[in-house]
Amino acid sequence: MICVISIYHNPKCSKSRKTLEILRKKKKKPKVIHYLIEAPKDFEIIRIANMLNKKVSEIVRLKDISIEHESLLLSMDNYSISKWLSDNPKYIERPIVINHKKNKAVICRPPEKVLEVL
C-alpha cells in the first residue's frame, strides 16, 4: 500500500505531537519520519520546499540559529541551504505534513494547519 500522508516528526516537539494526534483522530495513518534520526537528503528538502510553495530558506527554523548563521544562510542558494539542512536537520521547521496524493505540504504551526492538506 502506498503511503498517502507523511509527517516529518520530532517527538520532543509539542506541536509535532499535537499534529500527529490530529492526524490519528482523523483516521489517517501517516508515515512518521523521525527526521532527526533519518535526515532527508538535499533533493528531498528541495522537493518539500516546492510542495510548500516556499524557498528552502523559508523552512529553516530561524529561531534556533544564531544571527551569524542566519546571515550566512540567507546569502546561500537553495541547493546550498538544502545541503546544510540535510547535514543539520534540527534546523528544519517542524512539523511538516505531506499529502503525496495531492502533492501538497504544510508546516503545521499551529497544528490545526494539518487540515489544509487532508
Tell me the β-bridge partners of 104.
Answer: 99
Task: Check 7, 9, 12, 13 and give the catalytic one.
Answer: 13
Active-site annotation holds for 13: yes
Catalytic residue set: 13
